[in-house]
Structure 1
Amino acid sequence: MMNLLQTIPVLCLGAILAVLSPKACAAFNVQKVASLTKAQASSDLPVVKSAGLSPDMDVPWSKAVRIVDPFEGEFLGVFDRNSLGGYLYREGSTQVLSLWTPSSIRVLVTLNSGQAMSSFYTAGRVYPRPDFIRFVTTKKVDKLLLKVGEKVFKLDGSTGAFPVSQELATALKNAPDKNLNIRLILEGGQTVDSEIGKETVKAWRSIY
């Protein structure tokens, strides 16, 4: 009986606060609706079945996607690609691939090279061969520097993955609609300067 008597004032107080504080209740409802809307929007996004980065991958670039990876589970992300040195598959060109997720940034740097060959000889016969054979070499990224507004974020990672802090996530979400400069420091000290396109920057708002 005593527990019941103690509970009644609490319930009455909650009812009074609800009447006196409609703004608090309204804010709660807005947050709830926003969460439901975001969840519904994520279910409508294109689905990518792997979070892995590779030179010849075919994904929606610079758009928010829903990644369903058999090893890592399901999460949101944005893929970005930038080619340095001219045409994407030109000999000597460098390609910077990245995947931006709420928890991490993954980066892969590839170098395109090739060799001209018109034929090859085996078993006593000469066979025709494509005029140009393309080779792709990947480079390990040790450090990632991003300049968002006037602030430079310096990230250390392993195997090309860099954790995203709450401060960085907020900065990426509020980044201006323009290309964003990044600097990659490769294993061995080589530096590669690249850009993240403004369409990718806009897509960050859907995941951060």
Structure 2
Amino acid sequence: MKTQLLNWGLGLSFILSTAPVAFAVEPAPIGENDKVQWSKVVENPFDGKIVYDKNFNDNLVFVSSWSKGGIRATYNRIESRLVGYRTVWHTRTVHRKHRKYEERYPEREPIYQKYRVEQPIKSLQFAINGQIHTYDEGPVSPELATALASAPAGNMLIRIVWRKGGTQDMEIGKGTVQSWKTIFSPSEG
């Protein structure tokens, strides 16, 4: 009996450890290099009217998709690690005894490899017209849709809440914010 109970307990812990985390923003269905129209409303056979947005720099890539069926977002941190060194030859001008000489000298230069680390997103928060709205999964609620459709023109700062705790503010482009008026308008089916 103890063996059966132990096996049942191990099975349950495996199921719980592999169960998906509830209340989490799904990853975006596109990547930053995909050939899509950014910040413009397009028709998608799976999502209907949708707009794609991206924000990136040397340290991060944030890609999102916005439709009534759901908001999806992927955040990748760009990191690098030292993988070795190489010798690089440089030339410099040296002045000796009133003459100029070209002199070559070696220098060790580090070689870095860049890689991505995806950070799972728990939820997204929006401060619109003096109210805080939160999205974490599934279809966009009528309240959030109304808020997004009425967002002020221009770039918008949103807050990412990480699954492991902590937050980070991210900017959504003005073209995407403008597109929300079309996508999340109550008159859109």
Which structure has more helix as a fraction of its residues? Answer: 1
How much does 1:164 deviate? 0.7
Q: Who is 1:105 aligned against?
A: 71
Question: 1 CA distance for matches of 2:141 and 2:33?
Answer: 30
**CA deviations over 1:162-201 (Å, ceiling 9, x no partner):** 5311111122112111222211111210311112111111
Look up the SS of the partner of 1:163 in the other structure. coil
Question: 2 CA distance for matches of 1:118 and 1:56?
Answer: 29
Q: Who is 2:30 aligned against?
A: 53
How much does 1:133 deviate? 3.1
- The question of 1:170 aligning with 2:143 is answered no
How much does 1:113 deviate? 1.5
Q: Who is 2:20 aligned against?
A: none
Q: Is the 8 A contact 1:82 1:96 kept in 2?
A: yes
Q: Which amino acid aligns with 2:126?
A: L
Look up the SS of the partner of 1:169 in the other structure. helix
**CA deviations over 1:85-107 (Å, ceiling 9, x no partner):** xxx2x2xx122211000121111
Tell me: CA distance 1:74–1:187, structure 2 relative to 1, closer, same or farther (3 Å).
closer
Q: Which amino acid aligns with 1:175?
A: A
Q: Who is 1:115 aligned against?
A: 81
Look up the SS of the partner of 2:143 in the other structure. helix
Q: Who is 1:205 aligned against?
A: 181
Structure 2: give runs of 5+ residues left out of the alignment. Answer: 1-27, 86-110, 185-189
**CA deviations over 1:121-157 (Å, ceiling 9, x no partner):** xxxxxxxxxx553211111101211111211102233
Per the normalisation by structure 1, the TM-score is 0.57
Look up the SS of the partner of 1:109 in the other structure. strand
Identity %: 30
How many residue pairs get matched? 134
Q: Is the 8 A contact 1:55 1:136 kept in 2?
A: no
2:40 equivalent among 47, 58, 63? 63
Q: Who is 2:62 aligned against?
A: 96
- The question of 1:146 aligning with 2:126 is answered yes
Q: Who is 2:51 aligned against?
A: 78
- The question of 1:137 aligning with 2:117 is answered yes
